[in-house]
Amino acid sequence: MQICFARRWRHCCFDAKMHVYNQCTFVIAKKELDMLRIEQLTKRYPTGDLALNGVDLEVPERQVVALIGPSGAGKSTLIRCINRLVEPTEGRIWLKDLEITRLHASGLRRARRRIGMIFQEYALVERLTVMENVLSGRLGYVGFWQSWFRRYPQSDIDAAFNLLERVGLVDYVDKRADALSGGQRQRVGIARALLQNPDLLLVDEPTASLDPKTSRQIMRLITELAREHGLPVVINIHDVPLARMFAQRIVGLRSGVIVYDGPPEALVADTLTTIYGEEDWTDSQRADEPDEPVEQELHLPQQALTASG
């Protein structure tokens, strides 16, 4: 009787240990999978506008997520809460195992190095050259005096050259930013974000000021580079066909709430109506033009073509 009880007790202990072990490995495996984790994110602006209302989102490594939704849905607010350019009202955000929402000054500065951002209006310093703008992506890494005199290590300069070659701007390194076209400016923005060597790329309306053909080139460049660098990307974009073409996953936001989260193929008319309402979304579909490979259009050197696979 006593032996039987002892055996059962041992079994119980073993089962309990296995349960704890399974839970732990599940949690660890999950943490390893999700580069970005957002829990119950809410943002109410001082004006009273509720831009985000309890958003949950997990983005695994290497995934390209397109964030779509009507104007005012909260897309930019969501992207900007991730690197705390906008301060969330409630909720928690993790970059891998680092809780962004708990960080203060220097910790937040360090965390922002790990998050590359590409802006709609490029956010370049107009009077600086292409090379200087790209190198500014390293500002978070070099010391105060080095950044004051804009002295960068040779390794940063070499990396900037490689990236400029990859985005098709190697012949423009000494050109001032204000002498570039919109598409060229966005390529500078992309190279700058990647020179940060980030763990995550946030992109806010990268094509809003560009023509349809350049928009496609830019989206292709962003997603190809993200793949080459093994980065997850959250792209906020108005253009539904572009989102479908380049993202692996679509998240639809409406009035600060996620109303769709799934693959591009499942984004049918009914779902678009749920996201955009009855009339909006068909207008946002652009007539597709014949597609050309971006490398051909950019006249990239052979070396870069090989590197891009």
Ligand X SMILES: Nc1ncnc2c1ncn2[C@@H]1O[C@H](COP(=O)(O)OP(=O)(O)OP(=O)(O)O)[C@@H](O)[C@H]1O
Candidate list 77, 207, 214, 223; residue touching ligand X; CB under 6 A: 77
Listed in sequence order, the residues at least 6 apart from 248 whose beta carbon sits closer than 8 Å to its beta carbon are 63, 64, 65, 263, 264
Interface mask toward Mg ion for 61-80; x: CB under 5 A: ---------------x----
Q: Of the two residues 76 and 196, which places its CB atom closer to Mg ion in the complex?
A: 76
Candidate list 39, 61, 62, 72; residue touching ligand X; CB under 6 A: 72
Residue 49 binds ligand X, judged by CB under 6 A = yes
Angle CA 126–130–135, to nearest 5: 105
CB of 58 to ligand X, least distance (A): 20
Task: Count the residues of the shown chain that bind ligand X, applying the rule CB under 6 A.
Answer: 12
Residue 73 binds ligand X, judged by CB under 6 A = yes
Residue 47 binds ligand X, judged by CB under 6 A = yes
Q: Of the two residues 87 and 97, which places its CB atom closer to ligand X in the complex?
A: 87
Name which of Mg ion, ligand X, none residue 51 binds, using a CB cut-off of 5 to 8 Å depending on partner kind: ligand X
Residue 75 binds ligand X, judged by CB under 6 A = yes
CB of 77 to ligand X, least distance (A): 3
Q: Of the two residues 74 and 183, which places its CB atom closer to ligand X in the complex?
A: 74
Name which of Mg ion, ligand X, none residue 69 binds, using a CB cut-off of 5 to 8 Å depending on partner kind: ligand X
Candidate list 38, 51, 219, 250; residue touching ligand X; CB under 6 A: 51
Q: Of the two residues 46 and 290, which places its CB atom closer to ligand X in the complex?
A: 46
Residue 71 binds ligand X, judged by CB under 6 A = yes
Residue 95 binds ligand X, judged by CB under 6 A = no
Q: Which residues bind Mg ion (CB under 5 A)?
A: 76
Q: Which residues bind ligand X (CB under 6 A)?
A: 45, 47, 49, 51, 69, 71-77
